Amino acid sequence: MSARLIGLCPGSGPARRARLAVALTAITATASCGSSSGGAFQPSGTFGGPSAPPATTAAPPPSALPTAQVDQTVLQRYREYQRVYKQVYETNDPAPLAAVATDPLLTNVTQDVEKTRSKGEIWRFTNVLNPKIQGRSTDGTQVIVLDCVRTLGAYRYSARTGERLGSLPGGTALYQVFMRYDAGTWKASKATLGKKC
């Protein structure tokens, strides 16, 4: 790898990881309207023709793409990881992580979310990110993203009552994530917190 790694900060437990998580704006749902062919109701959602196969989200192998395109894809997937990271702490459901993370990060975050759930708590936080590509492996299957994460607010709530139980102060910190090409897509595989940025 051609990147300088950042060291882990003291106090980088679950609360700090939750505070430093970064997310994009929630995905907006889109709805479509239309009339069915011949006026017949078709609950399958088709218009009389065969169903189209589901769209695939698998990215082409990194070696087949220009570096700039790989970087753009990796940064998009990093932002998606951060969106899902925020979601799983708000819902205490780590299941969506498998689509955006791989081990060891997948297991670490899953265990932390389950620990938070066992306490009867949830986390809500708002962060702003500014990710950049820091480096990549020789074979191009790993790309390192370095981000200066700015936390605007992080709050702990009771999952049962919704009462706010505490908060953490805002601030900035370096956040380094190894993105690995896995099963046709980029996934976060390792994350490290660094110093204030």
Q: How many CA atoms lie within 13 A of 132 on its CB side?
A: 4
Local confidence band at 110 (pLDDT 50, 70, 90 cut-offs)? very high
In which residue are the tokens 């790993």 written? Answer: 142
The helix/strand/coil state of 78 is: helix
pLDDT tens digits along 65-102? 888 999 999 999 999 999 999 999 999 999 999 999 99
pLDDT tens digits along 123-157? 999 989 999 999 999 888 999 999 999 999 899 99
Q: Which of 180, 98, 171, 189 is nearest to 143 (CA)?
A: 180
Whether the pLDDT of residue 20 is over 90: the answer is: no
**164 contacts 155 by C-beta, under 8 angstroms:** yes
Model confidence pTM above 0.85: no
For residue 153, CA distances in Å to 20, 87, 104, 156, 196 come to 10, 15, 27, 10, 16
The helix/strand/coil state of 91 is: helix
In which residue are the tokens 């437990």 written? Answer: 13
**131 contacts 110 by C-beta, under 8 angstroms:** no
pLDDT tens digits along 28-79? 222 333 333 344 434 444 344 444 444 445 555 677 788 899 999 999 999 9
Q: Angle 30-187-53 (CA atoms, 0-180°, nearest 5)?
A: 45
Q: Angle 104-106-107 (CA atoms, 0-180°, nearest 5)?
A: 70
